[in-house]
Amino acid sequence: MTNSSSNITIPDTYKQATITNTTTIDFDTPQGNTNTKQFLKGKKVSIIGDSISTFKNYIPNDNRPYSYPSSDVTDVNQTWWMDVINQSGATLGTNDSWSGRSVAGNPEKNTSCLLANLNTIDKDTDLCLILLGVNDFRSGSTLNAFDPTKKNPNPQTDYSDALCVAMETLAKNYPNTRFAWISPIGDFTWPAGFPALVPNRYALTIWKYDDVLKEACKFYGNHFIDMRYTFSYLQASELMDGLHPKAAGMRRLSRTIIHSITNIL
């Protein structure tokens, strides 16, 4: 991967199958640029996420606390998800994001976990973007081998098992919706070490969780957006606390997503 000023050229080995040629992502393009191709015009896009995807008055009232506005992200149009909406020409459906949300969890005790919220977005959603996983890594959700045929899964505590339940249930509840799962951007709160190399309490790196997400997406036919090569310590200044993007980080996140979903529908 080469980095010249703010233009990043992504090699073929790091790109999704939907991107057929080498793509240059311009992270300096102003948000709200009306010259951008409106490739999702007439389509409804919903969001499922954690604190990174929140903004006051744009998430359900019960989904609290919210993290944004914060730092220099003071306008909803600066968020990664609204920038995707603006640049693609889509209509925003539901933004069901909740600070601290994990994928795994007991729906009866943890009302914020994804497993308790698998029927919350608009039924006529064309595309749903899901950005989750970092809280599973940080809170210590276990990570069994991906096995969708498991007879006794434990989705309440295991990330892999929870993904199977979530993807199967979402497909059943929203048969006409295309789902795109975005891998976590990383955890830069550790005092030393690249996020890919720093383990959690189970001696697992966040990239191990990303690997399982990628495998699950492939099995269930969902689109996988790999963020592992988007942020590094060179861009750590674009995160206000090592986890939550500033305006520049939001722009970097949205541009990577946009180039991955251009031909998704």
Give the alpha-carbon dihedral of 70, 75, 81, 82, to 10 degrees. 170
Tally the domains of the chain.
Answer: 1
Q: What is the pLDDT of residue 141?
A: 94
CATH number at residue 202: 3.40.50.1110
Structure tokens that stand for 12 in this block: 């073929």
192-197, Cβ contacts within 8 angstroms, sequence gap of 24 or more: 194/232, 194/233, 196/228
pLDDT at 23: 38
Report helix angle 80-88 to 247-261, nearest 10: 40
Structural contact between residues 230 and 253, judged by C-beta atoms closer than 8 angstroms? yes
- Give the tokens for residue 23: 């793509």
Label residue 154 by pLDDT band (50, 70, 90): very high
* pTM of the entire predicted model: 0.85
State yes or no: pLDDT of 4 exceeds 90: no
The per-residue pLDDT of the chain, averaged, comes to 84
The structure tokens listed for 148 are 């969708």
User: How would residue 233 be classed by pLDDT, with cut points 50, 70 and 90?
Assistant: low
DSSP three-state, residue 99: coil
The domain of 48 spans 2-261
Tens digits of residue pLDDT in 96-145: 999 999 999 999 999 999 999 999 999 999 999 999 999 999 988 999 99
Would you list the DSSP string of 64-83? Answer: -----SBTTB-SGGGSHHHH
| Residue 3 confidence (pLDDT) above 90 | no
- The answer on pLDDT for 175 being more than 80 is yes
- Give the confidence band of 229 by pLDDT, cuts at 50, 70, 90: confident
The rounded distance, in Å, linking the Cα atoms of 136 and 76 is 26
Residue bearing the bigger pLDDT, 236 or 218: 218
Cα–Cα distance for residue pair 255/148, rounded to 1 Å: 32
pLDDT band at 185 (very low <50, low <70, confident <90, very high): confident
Q: Is the pLDDT of residue 42 over 80?
A: yes
